[in-house]
Structure 1
Amino acid sequence: MKKIFLSIAVLTMMSSCNDYLDIPVEGATDASNFFKTENDAMLGTNAIYSFLRSWENSAFPYQFVFGVPADDVVKGSNPGDASFINAYDQFTYTTSDEGIRGYWIGQWQAVNRCNQVLTKVPAIEMNAALKTRLLAEARMLRAYFYFNLVRIYGGVPILDSLKESYNNIPRSSVDEVYNFIISDLTSAAADLPQSYGAGDQGRVTKGAALGLLSKVYLYKKDWQKAYDTSNQVIAMGYSLDPDFNHLFRIAGEFGSESVFEVNCECSPQFGGSQYAEVQGVRNQFGWGFFTPSQALENAFEPGDIRKELTILRNGETTPEGDLIAMGDPNSVTTYNQKVYVPTSQNNNACGYGSRQNIRILRFAEILLINAEAANEMGNIATATLNLNKVRTRAQLAATTATNQAALRTAIWRERRVELAMEGDRFVDLVRTGQAATVLASYGFKAGKNELFPIPLDAINQSNGLFTQNPGY
């Protein structure tokens, strides 16, 4: 059994925000009476981690913006169930859509939790080394939330203190937000440890900070820094799990491939996570939403073992011995196998799949980041080497690509199948300039749908400081 490090955070985390973010926490204590002791500092930092497993960050709103808009994910369930989700598949959502608003609110709540720690903890008399580490954890996590915001909404306000609300200052540019993220990650990487003891599994590490930094540089197309930073991570001793199925099961959690992973163990304080439940096999393990598309099925090469270990089908028996029921003929028939928790390993004290950790960044992606950056710099040999490491694990032959253009396409395709159903496809299509072509038949409009709209009430409450994204 994993030791859960998350404790009950007795903060009113929204104390510095206006009504738009003022969502009460049952049984909470006002933050003005908190952050007095070393234990308070730990609880406040743990409250940031608790958000990683929250509904807003990993269940429905997350899938609305990172999942369904891609060509690899469909709404799921049956046609009449939560039909409003179709707006994300068809790019017909509006500035008043609750999913867009929910994700926006959630990320700002998380940023505020980070800023509580970064503002209050420095004044606490406590162990200096622990203080330094907790502040680094908060910076790393703040960078992650800002990375989510900038990829979905574009330029957003930069808040590095509790002195002002986000809707009282203008949006910063995309470059300014990325520079803020880079600053936080660079600072965090300098102070974070490379590993923790068993009781602290899931806390962010130096490798997580550098790994996320390499991904940020990838999005900025700063190829040299993406290459150099991913090389730092490669040198840290991570390795691919030789068994792709094991990688996503309980036994594979926090394994050799884990760079940034959310601890979702069921606990009395927090329950578990609904990340797996909302995607689980309908009427057997979960709700049956956010399921693989036919386009994703078609993307796998013949012989790629990842296909059947990514897509769970009605009527099949899993390697762990569960027979997947045939189900309602009006519902979808395939599901995301990466979130599957075997019946024998489920913790019935919480909802189905509550033990399923969320893999945010894996070593396989670090290799593909390195390969893409190397290829863009003309280093075909290194790009091919690291691409083939990922393909070998999938029991595929070495790539046949021999020039930069062909290798670029091969690396993009490898990202699609390796990271399938993990929330990267839509933003990958946007960053690589493929979205307007690949998603045209779904209703994607170039110059508009690369970003989601700023929620209407956020625009209204900004007193004219926010400009809306183009096309909305």
Structure 2
Amino acid sequence: MKNILIKIMSAGLVLPALLIACNNYLDVKPQGQIDEEAATSDPEAAQNLVTGIYNNLWLGNIHGFPFIGVTNIASDDADKGSNADDAAPTQGALDNLTMNAGTSTLNDIWSGYYQAIARANKALQVLEPATIDGELKARLQGESHFLRAYLYFNLVRLFGGVPKVDKVLTPQEAATDQYQTRAGRDTIYQLITADLEFALANLPVKGGEGSQAGKATKGAAAALLAKVSLYRQNWQRAYSLTDSIITGQVGSYSLLPNYADIWRETGKNGAESIFEVQTGINASCDAAIDVYSVCQGPRAGGKRGWADLGWGFDNPSLSLLNAYEAGDKRRDATIIFINPGGTVLWDGFRVPGRDSVENDRYNYKAYHSRTREQYCGNADRLPKNLRILRLGEVLLIHAEAALALNNPGPAVTDINALRTRAGLPTKGAVTRADVWKERRVEMAMEHDRFFELVREDALVPGTAAAAFQVHGKTYVRGRNEVFPVPTTQIQFSQGRLTQNPGY
């Protein structure tokens, strides 16, 4: 092991700390100090610098409990869960779409994402003059651009226009209107697109020379850029990018035969995987997303008397349950049902009946076995890889883009591939409504449903309101497409950050 000194500067603030780096990337901390001078000439230090961006993805306010709230719980996929009073001012407000600028979860998200963006900006600044091997340098720059694009894509979907911070700022720069006000959505999307185009041109294919398991690849850049193009209604670009993935031009990908395996250790970084947040076991037993699995685990209630698995949040909703066709294998791979006589999970763990459990349903995709998968004793940091991009979603994007381009043949092929795996009969023809219905059950509880409803509503007004109404929520068009800008951030900007309409 060796000590590496790193500095991160965000909006002029230097955040010093010491991190211990080993050859295993899991021991590179999300925050800390790295010797920037060494990273310009030492390949290992340069790679550790970029690895620090990846490991920022473990932070709770990036992919943990707050993220679950603004994605799953805020959508019609899930109810808050736990008991009625638990986290009512935060997750409860998100569940009911009654959040406001003071809802603390939103400030947690905002600050966490900009912290990670600051790490990406620092890496790009240090790498620019680096004299390390040219191919390694281009790959590390590509990874940094990809990660920054992913972070900004979530921010722009959550808040609309946000401050565009695309470099390390001096204290003087950080105080200017340019960085204390919101850039427009189009400006942020231009930054995202430019970052992804750079990544697409400079990253290796999955399994190819220079690629590393768990790191961004050309396929990941193509998939995320296709998804961005879908949101921007750039149908031709979305189609061509997804086509390049399906036909193997940017790497070899295929659907896993067993849908449930995608979220188990056996399926991590597998044939269907395009990009995942990597987790594992390290010396301090914290190489995983903070409380991601445990906050969604079955919770004791009623008679109790058993060692429960978590806090009981993010329960699959009745409207999601009703969205599945009879015989769809994806239902039981997505939802843990608490049966009257108890429920035995895939690893043999028995959850007792409803008289001893707080809620009726739980998120199976978030479950991580403590007996059959990696576990070092830290329940708050269960090493569950978070699947961000996978081939199943690429097929859905490809199908929708094909229909928009009046090319229905590929759409039928794409949807039938998913339906066949799910154990459902194939279709002779598909419509956009069919694709959207398939998307909901294929991607259920995967943190995209809220954004998808907003996107679909832009194409077919009334879609989101109808979906939320079934779930007992009121969706107001012109307001609920985005979340409020946190009061704390408006105060930090001395009032220069403007609020979203309706808040």
**TM-score if structure 2 supplies the norm length?**
0.86
- Structure 2 match to 1:66: 71
Q: Distance in 1 between matches of 2:309 and 2:499?
A: 40
Residues 227, 373 of structure 1: 8 Å contact kept: yes
**1:253 has 2:286 as partner:** no
2-side partners of 1:8 and 1:192: how far apart? 29
The alignment status of 1:392 with 2:392, answered yes or no, reads no
Question: Which sections of structure 2, spanning at least 5 residues, go unmatched?
Answer: 20-31, 301-307, 458-462
CA deviations over 1:50-87 (Å, ceiling 9, x no partner)? 01122111111101211111111111122222222110
Deviation at 1:126, TM superposition (A): 1.8
- The match for 1:280 among 297, 301, 305 is 297
- Contact between 2:280 and 2:374, CA under 8 Å: does it hold in 1? no
Retained in 2: the 8 A contact 1:258–1:361?
A: yes
Q: Is residue 378 of structure 1 aligned with residue 373 of structure 2?
A: no
Q: Distance in 2 between matches of 1:437 and 1:460?
A: 36
CA distance in 1, matches of 2:475, 2:206: 42
Q: CA deviation at 1:352?
A: 6.0
Q: Does 1:223 align with 2:235?
A: yes
Residue 173 (structure 1) shift: 1.5
- Contact kept, 8 Å, 1:244 with 1:309, in 2: the verdict is yes
Partner of 1:3: none
Q: For residue 437 of structure 1, report the CA deviation from its aligned partner.
A: 2.5
C-alpha contact 2:4 2:34 (8 A) present in aligned 1: no
SS in 2 for 1:291: strand
Q: Rate the CA distance shift 1:12–1:172 in 2: closer, same or farther, 3 A.
A: same
- Whether the aligned pair in 2 keeps the contact of 1:157 and 1:166 (CA below 8 Å) is no
Q: Distance in 1 between matches of 2:355 and 2:102?
A: 33
How far did 1:168 drift? 4.1
* Secondary structure of 2:372 counterpart: helix
Secondary structure at the aligned position of 2:315 is classed as strand
Which whole-Å CA distance do the structure 2 matches of 1:114 and 1:245 have between them?
33
Q: 1:98 to 1:229 in 2, by over 3 A?
A: same
Measured against aligned partners, the alpha-carbon deviations of 1:371-421 in whole angstroms (never above 9, x if no partner) come to 00001111111111111111111010113655xxxx111110111001100
Is 2:23 the counterpart of 1:17? no
Runs of 4+ residues over 4 Å off in structure 1: 7-10, 22-27, 30-34, 196-199, 327-330
Distance 2:224 2:141 in 1: 17
Read off the aligned partner of 2:87 and give its amino acid letter.
A
Q: Which amino acid aligns with 1:104?
A: W
319, 332, 340: which one aligns with 2:346:
319
User: Which residue matches 1:339?
Assistant: 366
Asked whether the equivalents of residues 285 and 352 of structure 1 are also in contact (C-alpha less than 8 Å), the reply is no
The Cα shift of 1:458 comes to 1.6
Q: Tell me if 1:445 matches 2:464.
A: no
CA gap 1:346/1:132 in 2 versus in 1, 3 angstroms: closer
Query: Is 1:233 matched up with 2:245?
Result: yes
Is this contact kept in 1: 2:34–2:49, CA < 8 A?
no
Question: Is the 8 Å Cα contact of residues 53 and 275 (structure 1) preserved in structure 2?
Answer: no
> What is the distance in 2 between the residues matched to 1:186 and 1:233?
15
The answer to whether 1:144 aligns with 2:150 is: yes
CA separation of 1:258/1:43 partners in 2, compared to 1, >3 Å: closer, same or farther?
Answer: same
In structure 1, C-alpha distance between the alignment counterparts of 2:360 and 2:149, rounded to whole Å:
37
Between Structure 1 and Structure 2, how many residues are aligned?
459
Alignment of 1:46-57 (within 5 A): 46-57=51-62
Given candidates 424, 428, 436, the residue that maps to 2:448 is 424
Question: What residue identity is the alignment partner of 2:76?
Answer: D
After superposition, what is the alpha-carbon deviation per residue over 1:327-364, rounded to whole angstroms, capped at 9, x for unaligned? 66571121111122223324133326722110001100
Residues 93 and 99 of structure 2 are in contact (CA less than 8 Å); yes or no, is this contact kept in structure 1?
A: yes
Secondary structure of 1:74's aligned partner: strand
Distance 1:154 1:199, change over 3 A: closer
Question: Please, which of 86, 89, 98 is the counterpart of residue 92 of structure 1?
Answer: 98
| Paired letter, 1:215 | K
**Is the CA contact (8 Å cut-off) linking 1:57 and 1:103 kept in structure 2?**
yes
In the alignment, the residues of structure 1 paired with residue 287 and residue 268 of structure 2 have an alpha-carbon distance, to the nearest angstrom, of 18
**What's the counterpart of residue 43 of structure 1?**
48
Q: In the TM superposition, what whole-angstrom CA distance separates every residue of 1:400-449 from its partner, at most 9, and x where no partner exists?
A: 655xxxx1111101110011000011100000102223224413221111
Aligned residues of 2:224 and 2:389 also touching (Cα < 8 A): yes
The aligned counterpart of 1:436 is: 465
Secondary structure of 2:132's aligned partner? coil
Q: Deviations over 1:11-60 (max 9, x none)?
A: 342x24256xx766566437767745333221110110001122111111
Q: Is 1:165 aligned to residue 177 of structure 2?
A: no
Q: How far apart, in 1, do the equivalents of 2:256 and 2:227 lie?
A: 21
The aligned amino acid for 1:11 is: I
CA gap 1:9/1:68 in 2 versus in 1, 3 angstroms: farther
Offset of residue 246 of structure 1 = 1.5
Question: Is 2:284 the counterpart of 1:271?
Answer: no
Q: Distance in 1 between matches of 2:52 and 2:4?
A: 5
Q: What is the rounded CA distance, in whole Å, between the counterparts of 1:395 and 1:167 in structure 2?
A: 57
Of 265-274 and 127-136, more deviation after overlay is shown by 265-274
The Cα shift of 1:159 comes to 1.9
Worse-superposed segment, 390-399 or 320-329: 320-329
What CA distance in whole angstroms lies between the structure 1 residues aligned with 2:408 and 2:226? 19
Q: Does the CA contact (< 8 Å) of 1:9 and 1:46 recur in 2?
A: no
Q: Which string of whole-angstrom CA distances, capped at 9 and with x for unpartnered residues, describes residues 77-108 of structure 1?
A: 22222222110011111111110001011111
Structure 1 residues 9 and 424: CA distance shift in structure 2, 3 A? farther
Deviates more, 1:172-181 or 1:182-191: 172-181
Aligned partner of 2:194 in structure 1 is: 183
How large is the Cα RMSD of the aligned pairs?
A: 2.3
Q: 1:133 aligns with which of 125, 139, 142?
A: 139
Cα gap change, 1:202 to 1:165, in 2 (>3 Å): farther
Aligned equivalent of 1:205, options 206, 217, 230: 217
Q: Measure the CA separation in 1 of the matches of 2:355 and 2:67.
A: 26
- The farther-off stretch of 196-205 and 336-345 is 196-205
**Counterpart residue number, 1:294:** 318
- Judge conservation of contact 1:313–1:324 (CA < 8 Å) in 2: no
Please state whether the residue corresponding to 1:345 is helix, strand or coil. Answer: coil
State the identity as a percent. 37
